[in-house]
Amino acid sequence: MRSLRDLLILLPFFFLSLPLFTEEDHDMHDLMAHFITPAAEKIWESTGFVITEEGEISLEPKDNEGWNEVVFGAQVIIESSYSLKRLDRSLGREDWIAFSSLLEPIGRQAVIAAEAKDSEALFQIGADLYQACVACHNVYMKK
């Protein structure tokens, strides 16, 4: 009797939780587009040069505020490593976990480079970061 009542109470919650699983793609889209990409752009848009009519312009931050933005982006990259490994996202897939794990050390190196205002190191770290994104997308991003 007791367990039947519990079941009847819990049943609506079961149906309420179903959309969480069917909305997996939506969840990944948001994480990628609104969390990971803006963070990575803090790093990519702070390194290298752009060519204009006036010549080469360095994208290196000009002040502490600019470098702090890079530190902030790098911290988000570190956090995204854990966030991607959450069980409902990794689904226990070993390669997914390995790809996600690449982001943490890269993020840490980026924090160190940004704190040292080392734009050459940051450029290389940005390239490594890009490779880590692509490694996972090659396997898991639907065409």
Q: Which two tokens stand for residue 108?
A: 């840490």
Q: Residue 22 phi/psi, 5° resolution?
A: -75, -15
**35 sits near ligand HEC (criterion: CB under 6 A):** no
User: From CA 96, how far away is CA 88, in angstroms rounded?
Assistant: 12
Q: In Å, what is the CA distance from 140 to each residue of 28, 48, 95, 117, 132? A: 11, 29, 10, 34, 13
Q: Which two tokens stand for residue 56?
A: 């080469």
Complex with ligand HEC: residue 103 or 114, whichever CB lies closer: 103
- Cβ 109 to ligand HEC, closest distance in Å? 13
- One-letter identity of residue 79: E
- Using CB under 6 A as the binding rule, the residues of this chain from 70 to 129 that contact ligand HEC are 84, 96, 99-100, 103, 129
Q: Which two tokens stand for residue 85?
A: 């490994």
Pick from 70, 74, 110, 133 the residue near ligand HEC by CB under 6 A: 133
Nearest to 60 by CA among 117, 141, 139: 117
Choose one: 11-19, 52-60, 117-125, 132-140; the region binding ligand HEC (CB under 6 A): 132-140
Pick from 20, 33, 57, 91 the residue near ligand HEC by CB under 6 A: 33
Complex with ligand HEC: residue 32 or 121, whichever CB lies closer: 32
Binding mask 1-30 for ligand HEC (x = CB under 6 A): ------------------------x--xx-
User: From CA 69, how far away is CA 71, in angstroms rounded?
Assistant: 5
Tell me which residues touch ligand HEC (CB under 6 A).
25, 28-29, 32-33, 36-37, 40, 84, 96, 99-100, 103, 129, 132-133, 136-137, 140-141
